[in-house]
Structure 1
């Protein structure tokens, strides 16, 4: 179960209507909570998991790269894991490709198992899970298979028109100021991790 912890306001004042992304792109933060408290044992440290959600072009990947650099997270992109598995020509990859070609969503269990494998292969205990979960079924499968809830959920809320513009101009937009402005809103959430 998640509860809303904070909602960060738009990045710029409404007096500049020509800069849609600076005005309308916001993100929200949720913290997870549980009725059961689990105390990590010395042999098992509970991972610090952050779900990073938002549409394509909302800034998830860019902000994840900055969080990796600033706070030492391991970035796990669900989309990258699926593409990598398809490229490997494994049995899982063939199933994933077939599912996508049929216009269906990859089963939650498959995606979660790929995320789990990636997390287990890391010597880190801080993870950014980018682009997952995409549904309540995904979330339930994650919590069932991994055995924990996320510590934080970041949602980058960006208008569809702006996301389309960003995706179409991915290699042409220089949005350093905007990226840094957004990151300055994200930074305090994880500041305690760097101490």
Structure 2
């Protein structure tokens, strides 16, 4: 089910994703987590915060033009079913409609750390390290 939804550029239901995340977090024995690509929409955000009782310390937002992302996805050569122009365009549309409101929500709370992902890899990595160093405990 999850693979089919990803191929269509759709978002996996919150209850499935949050359940998997919560289980992994509890099993890990850790108290700090870096969760890639989540929450993807307001429903995910609300479900995660309600179920886990956790609000993120901050989120990383990798800014990059759609043109550059499209070029990178089409050239990453990983043989993924979702690396085709139709699915990529759907994913961009879903991102703008669903994920940007989550970023806006956290931005209002001062919890967004923006990274210019169009920069060379080494610069992006340095910017990520800086973002994390600001909140190291």
TM-score interval (norm. to shorter)? 0.5 to 0.7
Q: Which has the larger radius of gyration?
A: 1
- 8 Å contact from structure 2 (residues 11, 40) kept in 1: no
Matched residues, number: 97
Higher share in strand: 1
Which whole-Å CA distance do the structure 2 matches of 1:154 and 1:96 have between them?
24
* CA 99–185 in structure 1, closer or farther in 2 if over 3 Å, else same: closer
Q: Which residue of 2 aligns with 1:105?
A: 11
Are 1:146 and 2:55 matched, yes or no? no
* TM-score (norm. length: structure 1): 0.43
Are 1:161 and 2:59 matched, yes or no? no
Are 1:184 and 2:90 matched, yes or no? no
CA displacement, residues 133-178 of structure 1 (integer Å, 9 cap, x when unaligned): 1111110000001111011111101111101111122259xxxx81
Q: Which residue of 1 aligns with 2:33?
A: 127
The CA deviation at 1:105 is: 3.3
2:22 to 116, 127, 130: 116
Question: Gaps (5+ residues) in structure 2?
Answer: 79-118
* CA 101–136 in structure 1, closer or farther in 2 if over 3 Å, else same: same
Which whole-Å CA distance do the structure 2 matches of 1:123 and 1:135 have between them?
27
Which whole-Å CA distance do the structure 2 matches of 1:117 and 1:109 have between them?
12
RMSD: 2.9
Which whole-Å CA distance do the structure 2 matches of 1:103 and 1:178 have between them?
27
